[in-house]
Amino acid sequence: MRDFYGTALPGGLMLGTAQYPSPAILADAFRRSGASVATVSLRRESGQDRAGQDFWRLISDLGVRVLPNTAGCHTVKEAVTTAHMAREVFDTPWIKLEVIGDADTLQPDVFGLVEAARILTADGFQVFPYTTEDLVVADRLLDAGCEVLMPWGAPIGSGLGLNNIFGLRALRAHFPDVPLVIDAGLGLPSQAAHAMELGFDAVLLNTAVAAAGDPAAMAEAFALAIRAGQLAAHADPMEPRDMAAPSTPLLGKAFLG
């Protein structure tokens, strides 16, 4: 189990809190999944009716670590400002940093991401950057003060899984001591298991669970898949080979004349 800024997170599953059919289903999904982190987006409160307080009370009752995010931010200034507001509201130095560069794919603006990460780290934040699998960008983010990297598997909400296995495998090999979280694009538990088999430390999900016909059951399925992938990774799996190899030895086999 790897530490995230000094905090050990059991289970390897982080869950988003958007798009669930009801608060009760959201709470049930967290209970059945055993997720240790809830990602939340900052929403402005109404001074008159304090809108959002019921949601915040629900999240607090889950008993998990809160990871605010800067979802929807397209500039460095917007992301930094949102992060500061989130720290005041949620009382945590953790921030999932998103600086979106493309409206269709929601691909990160990696140039703005590195700049924002440097600013926020200097301001005392513990930054979880939503990034690509690019090795050079990863190196720049670590130089900027990030201690965790969150590469996408595929575009947010697409359910396409792990689009660039080579790139993700290279990222894991290049940064063996850095906590790595697959963030975005997973649609099936099997894809999460694959991520863990590749040696990643956690996955972050939202749409795959919240949009399922039975979100709580899907959340539990992801938790089981992640555990299976972790066990497989630690079990020293066999290497693939091109030719068949019999699993039953020929020694002692009876030959009929």
* Maximum separation of any 2 CA atoms in the chain, in Å: 93
Any catalytic annotation for residue 96? yes
Non-local (6+) Cβ contacts of 55 within 8 A are 17, 23, 43
105 assigned to a ligand binding site: no
Q: Are 131 and 150 in contact (CB under 8 A)?
A: yes
Catalytic residue among 15, 38, 96, 127: 96
Name which of 184, 27, 193 is nearest 108 in CA terms. 184
157 assigned to a ligand binding site: yes
76: helix, coil or strand? Answer: helix
206 assigned to a ligand binding site: yes
Name which of 80, 68, 72, 69 is nearest 119 in CA terms. 80
75 assigned to a ligand binding site: no
Name which of 31, 111, 123, 113 is nearest 86 in CA terms. 123
Catalytic residues: 96
Binding residues: 157, 184-185, 206-207
Binding residues for 1-deoxy-D-xylulose 5-phosphate: 157, 184-185, 206-207
